Structure 1
């Protein structure tokens, strides 16, 4: 019998009104749907095809998605990547990936496409409850970059993270600012490659950097952020307009000139 702490159940219930399950294996799908209903899920929709799943995201507006990483008619990584870069209202909701193994390459694929957690099949009730508890009570920061869109990969349940990290001596706030500078640099360098996502990335980083001007008094920092903000408001925003002020920020944070492969940006 599935048991769940009443306090956790009360916290999860508001987030389980609309659940989308994308699983091509009928046995696993049935087990998962039954478990979800036991812990209080109200509407649970099952899809066995990722194309129909995309349409369901628009029509059903789920609050959480369970998605098979690989199946006959489901390519989970492709689906999640497209969801995170879409204009759908649910683009930022938790996605729990399901896979038949926990090999490093499997974990990396699930993490790098933008999913929140990975759950190995066959899974137990405790696995399900633990994953739901993580995504709804310990949600990581959202990363809006160029090469990656999704929850902070350093908080992925595998324990693995990006190859480049801010120095451990930095405060959490300064680490976030340093990461924003890295993402801005990538956005300026790749602006013409994906303008829509570049603008999203710039918007998200300005939401970090503009408030930071209150606590960081360095005149070059404030001047560079102001220049980026003015460029952002311009009707003819381009990557070239961002390069000089972003270079100033990169120098202040001692960020190498060449972005390293595998970084969140």
Structure 2
């Protein structure tokens, strides 16, 4: 879902410090053009994971844009390291992963390493801005457990996965036990039928 053009026009990254990790010089040039076009002035350009780790240890960053660095996938490893060993406050920094190919397996890998979003190349300013705005506006809590550290991977609360028993705390508090039998299909259809109302 695209954001309204008016909301995009009021956004500026002038005060943000951004770390960009991309081993491809042309990819880095495109990324720099995009973020500077959005107003960013404080940029850390890293071509290797070691450079990015050094920047994170010495500076506070507001946003990280990391390429997946295919085929070895060092970008994912960097995000995992950031979440577990990067240290505060950078361990909680928003992360957008970029990749030339985004099959389901890579989307899941980006999600599971602790990134907020994955964006497919070629990058465009509008798509990058929309992802940054989504991160700024979202209210997903940060999860820390043995198997995962990062933003809550669920965008919707649909309860536990299939095969996992439900717990009462998985349900919204306003939902209680059923007090009456389920509606018949005719009753459901009647709720959606057009009715004449006199005012």
Query: TM-score under structure 1 normalisation?
Result: 0.55
Segment of structure 1 superposing worse, 147-156 or 5-14:
5-14
Higher relative contact order (CA 8 A, sep 6+): 2
Q: What RMSD over aligned residues (CA atoms) do the two structures have, in Å?
A: 3.0
Report the counterpart of residue 60 of structure 1 in structure 2: 59
Alignment of 1:79-228 (within 5 A): 79-86=78-85, 87-155=87-155, 163=161, 170-171=171-172
Q: Gaps spanning 5+ residues in structure 2: where? A: 176-199
1:130 deviates by 1.1
- Tell me how far 1:60 sits from its aligned partner: 2.2
Distance in 1, Cα, partners of 2:139 & 2:29: 27
Deviates more, 1:163-172 or 1:131-140: 163-172
The 10-residue stretch of structure 1 (115-124 or 63-72) with the greater mean CA deviation from structure 2: 63-72
Whole-angstrom distance in 2 between the partners of 1:30 and 1:95: 19
Distance in 2 (CA, whole Å) between partners of 1:146 and 1:37 is 38
Provide the rounded CA distance (Å) in 2 between the counterparts of 1:20 and 1:162.
35
What count of residue pairs does the alignment treat as equivalent?
A: 166
Q: Kindly state the Cα deviation for residue 12 of structure 1 after the two structures are TM-superposed.
A: 4.9
Which whole-Å CA distance do the structure 2 matches of 1:173 and 1:111 have between them?
30
TM-score normalised per structure 2: 0.72
Highest Rg: 1 or 2? 2
More helix by share: 1
Contact 2:11–2:38 at 8 Å: present in 1 too?
Answer: no
Counterpart-to-counterpart distance in 1, 2:72 and 2:18: 19
Report the secondary structure of 1:123's partner residue: coil
**CA deviation vs aligned residue, 1:105-145 (integer Å, no higher than 9, x gap):** 11011000000000001122221111101111114111111
Aligned to 2:189: none
Q: Quote the Cα distance in structure 1 between the aligned partners of 2:18 and 2:43.
A: 5
Over 3 Å counting, the alpha-carbon distance change for 1:11 and 1:123 in structure 2 is: closer
CA contact (8 A) 1:57 1:88 kept: no
Distance 1:162 1:128 in 2: 31
